[in-house]
Structure 1
């Protein structure tokens, strides 16, 4: 008799059986991911996560083969003091499924956006202090060159950063979104390559380190990080170009300020100027995501943010 999973998702159940040698008892789509399609896979002996990339023809150039990059990043992680995914099987050949796929062991805990609201707001400060510690541990790992973990690699941070930003801007243009503001940021960045090249040590950056990619202990009396996942956007970079630093800075005067207690920012004027460029880069990524998810207010907010960056850079 076939399992309920086979009845609901026959092709995926067959994939699991062929890849893992065992038909799943349950296959449940997981919410929260905005890029890959993710399932909780319950087997008789264990539980896994199946992550399936979008079809290659639907991937933006700046997001090409993110699942491959994330898998490469897991192989070079330092000790973070919390759990990270363990790859059980990765297949990028297209022989088992038309798209890239990865089976991973489950990271313990429950998603931070689910658990945090159960705690008093004052306790959230402890969570953000822990997140700063995770970021600091991650950024302690140095690499051979700048750029995505799976390549391409660049000798200079200016080349890696500006190439990445240009790819995002090109993708925005390809879907008909205005890019005049970001073109201006790129032009300024090209004129200030020496500013970026003051960063000479490539450090491992998660690229999307924030609440949606963090697991918490659901039974702890206060927020306790148990794991971090989704390293698909990981790269060797200036550690100040980390998503968590950008997000922590967006609501000053709140519990997010505790992040800086364990991860103090570089106070130099040069670092502050580089952070302006990184803010524009993040706003470009948000604009692309807003287009994909049809969020017009987020599109306009991205324009406002880049406008403020340009004003700061031109002072």
Structure 2
């Protein structure tokens, strides 16, 4: 396979997969006969690694996104690239806030404000559950930012 990873320092948060790991992922995702002929890592992402992979017998390349190993992630980050199922919006919001608070605790920072927001979300869950159409909101409750 023609493989072009991004060069990084060994202590960098992000680390490229090996060519062999990309081959294994492709076989798992597309079946045992899937054969990647090239993989190019696409630039310097902040969290996940992204590759453009060309498979034999496929006209168009596929995009492979890879999250860091769980041990390198905070709890609140472990679901960034998948969509965990929650019965209600309030469950999702409260779970996210609780994970962020646990991450803060884990690095020795004060999580009191985040826990207050989680308590308000739990108390007002009916209001949160009025959401009928998702919208992307960006913000950061990470107190060091």
Query: TM bucket by the smaller chain?
Result: 0.5 to 0.7
Alignment of 1:1-315 (within 5 A): 3-5=1-3, 9-12=18-21, 14-15=23-24, 18=27, 19=32, 21-24=34-37, 26-43=38-55, 45-69=59-83, 148=84, 151=85, 153-155=86-88, 157-197=89-129, 199=130, 201=132, 203=133, 205=134, 239=135, 242-243=136-137, 246=138, 282-284=139-141, 287=142, 299-300=144-145
RMSD: 3.4
Of the two structures, which has the highest relative contact order with CA contacts closer than 8 Å and spacing of 6 or more?
A: 1
1:68 offset after TM fit, Å? 4.0
Q: Structure 1: state its 5+ residue gaps.
A: 70-147, 206-238, 247-281, 289-298, 301-315
1:48 offset after TM fit, Å? 1.9
Q: Structure 2: state its 5+ residue gaps.
A: 7-17
Question: Higher Cα Rg: structure 1 or 2?
Answer: 1
Of 47-56 and 13-22, more deviation after overlay is shown by: 13-22
1:60 offset after TM fit, Å? 2.8
Alignment TM-score, normalising by the size of structure 2: 0.61
1:36 offset after TM fit, Å? 2.3
Change beyond 3 A, Cα 1:23–1:158: closer
Change beyond 3 A, Cα 1:13–1:165: closer
Change beyond 3 A, Cα 1:11–1:165: same
Change beyond 3 A, Cα 1:27–1:185: same
Q: Which protein has the bigger helix share?
A: 1
Change beyond 3 A, Cα 1:11–1:182: same
Alignment TM-score, normalising by the size of structure 1: 0.33
